[in-house]
Structure 1
Amino acid sequence: MIVVMALVVTIVFVIVRVTPGDPAAVMLGPDASAADIAALRTKLGLDGSIVEQFGRYVLDLIKGDLGQSIFLGEPVTSALAQRAEPTFFLTVFSLIIATLIALPVGILSAYTRGSIFDQAATTVAMFAASVPSFWLGLLLIQFFAVRLGWFDTSGYGGPGASFADRLAHLVLPALALGLVSSALITRFTRAAMLDVLNDDYVRTARSKGMSEWRVVLKHAFKNALIPILTVIGLTAALLVSGAVVTETVFGLPGVGSLVVSAVLRRDYPVIQGALLVIAGLYVLVNFVIDMLYLAVDPRVRY
């Protein structure tokens, strides 16, 4: 995990620095003189070589400091913390929707292999996997918000909005992300179930007179959980980073919209801090999934 995060820190820092655009020039506008831009670059600490800037950045990271936002004028940690709530709940609700759809459909599709339901589920999953979440989000806004008026088109509620009102604003974006993400989980669930449904212990359980639902859910599904847990964990990590565009479409004040605005303004510390946090969550989720293998399969040992 340490090696991965070290590589992420290095790659993100270099990519951000070599991207065209100067934050000092963006802040001062097109009419600024070269002297004014140079003075602001010195003030922001951008006048040194990339090696010097990287050294200062690493030292700050060791101290737990993600830096100071160039445009917001506040620590990056505070900026991310203020935007974390919408992104967190959007990720959680999207994952719940994806899992509730994918697991039953994938299990039933594998159990009825070759049936009309199986073919329909596979076709829909392939189609859903190719649909961009932002495009699906626009369709949901057009139908449920504009035509039916059931939900707001954008936003996260006013400053005094209740928690229930804020959650209502997450229904459509969570559906957009959850429906698209369910496709991958469905396909992996079906494949994992097909691998175990014809194993000897499943036939033995049936021969003992166990009910079919108990054979499928208790014996087959439990032994197919490892690849399913893996893809659910990867989906959860992808949802955090994939929420960037979806948050922009729905006007949610989350980490995604913060990153988009930071990219447009060349706010280096915010871009680096956000990507570093997202990468850290990605690595952490994978680590948690690895630990869950111990609870699912007693044969796994570390």
Structure 2
Amino acid sequence: MTRYILQRLLGMLAVMFTVVTIVFIIVRIAPGDPAAVMLGPDATPADIAALRARLGLDQPLVVQYLFFLGQLIKGDLGQSIFLDMPVTRALAERAEPTFFLTLFSILIASAIALPVGILSAYKRGTLFDQAVTTFAMFAASIPSFWLGLVLIQIFAVRLGWFPVAGYGGPDASLLTRLSHLVLPAVALGIVSSALITRFTRASMLDVLNDDYVRTARSKGMGEFRVVMRHAFKNALIPVLTVIGLTAALLVSGAVVTETVFSLPGVGNLVVSAVLRRDYPVIQGALLVIAAIYVLINFGIDMLYILIDPRVRY
């Protein structure tokens, strides 16, 4: 088990180093000059050159890369060019709506997908199973931003049950802020539930006819216990994998949904940073998202140890 954990940790470090290098190169070779954007169209070449020198953008890429690595080792993601604050602070101020949006979305998706997928596999070939398969295909094809607009029109504009957009004022309570996340979380949750439903159904179908399931039934064990304790427990590893991947994708892919609902999250911050060529913010946000992605996958790998004894041995 110790070897298994060490292998995963070394893999995490290798992935993060690769991500750091790729992000640095992509940001630097992208068209656009942050110095020119900051100074505006009336800036002279001398002014632009002076600002580039002050920001360190005139240095060779190797020098900039080594300086960037040195900052990362110290836990410093740099200083935002436009916001004039540390990138870590800028990300921390935007983290709350993105965190809760991702959490609520994955909870809604799992609450829909797990029972529906299990029941669909148990009732394979029935009308219910066909309806679930159709729903999964339909939900997977719906753009989350379109579903968000539909939910806004129905539940916010017509019925007035939820806020249309935003995240509440500076003095708003946590409950008020969370009420702004209901509609975007439902939109993302419904779309994300499609993949989890299909994986749950497929994984359950693989185990429901195995010998140990038939043996449990032959011993007179209740059907619910057979399905949940024996079948679902052994089908859980691929399901956990897809749930973890979905959660990681929600962190990085909620940009459009945050824009539709005007949520001041990390997604909106990244969009603004890209438009302004704010290199430190872009780099910092991408690295944090990549780190979250890697940590979620590491957490899923650790759950394998609890679920499957073969991993421990």
TM-score normalised by the shorter chain: which range applies? over 0.9
Determine if the alignment matches structure 1 residue 156 to structure 2 residue 167.
Answer: yes
- The 5-angstrom pairing of residues 123-142 of structure 1 reads 123-142=134-153
After the TM superposition, which residues 1-302 of structure 1 pair with which residues of structure 2 at under 5 Å, given as runs? 1-301=12-312
CA RMSD of aligned residues (A): 0.9
One-letter code aligned to 2:110: T
Deviates more, 1:71-80 or 1:128-137: 128-137
Q: Note the C-alpha offset of 1:201.
A: 1.0
Q: CA deviation at 1:298?
A: 1.5
After TM superposition, the structure 1 stretch with the greater mean CA deviation from structure 2, 274-283 or 43-52, is 43-52
State the one-letter code of the partner of 1:94. Answer: S
User: Which whole-Å CA distance do the structure 2 matches of 1:250 and 1:12 have between them?
Assistant: 28
SS at match of 2:311: coil
Alignment partners' CA distance in 2, 1:127 and 1:279: 29
SS at match of 1:272: helix
| Matched residue count | 302
Amino acid at match of 1:112: K
Tell me the distance in 1 between the aligned counterparts of 2:146 and 2:62: 41
The Cα offsets for residues 70-102 of structure 1, whole Å up to 9 and x where unpaired, read as 000000001001111111111100000000000
- The 2-side partners of 1:129 and 1:221 are apart by 23
Q: Distance in 2 between matches of 1:43 and 1:290?
A: 45
SS of 2:312's equivalent in the other structure is coil
- Distance (Å, rounded) in 2 between the aligned partners of 1:104 and 1:77: 39
**Helix, strand or coil for the counterpart of 1:300?**
helix
CA distance in 1, matches of 2:145, 2:67: 38
For residues 198-225 of structure 1, what are the alpha-carbon distances to aligned partners after superposition, in whole Å with 9 as ceiling and x for unaligned? 0111111111112211111111111111
Provide the C-alpha distance between the structure 2 equivalents of 1:184 and 1:272, rounded to a whole number of angstroms: 30
For 2:232 and 2:146, locate their aligned partners in 1 and report how far apart those are by CA, in whole Å: 34
Structure 2 counterpart of 1:224, one-letter code: A
Query: In structure 1, how many angstroms separate the alpha carbons of the residues matched to 2:68 and 2:275?
Result: 21
Residues in 2 aligned to 1:146 and 1:224: alpha-carbon distance in whole angstroms: 42
* Amino acid corresponding to residue 287 of structure 2 in structure 1: L
Distance in 1 (alpha carbons) for counterparts of 2:40 and 2:261: 29
Structure 2: segments with no counterpart, 5+ residues: 1-11
TM-score, with normalisation over the residues of structure 2? Answer: 0.95
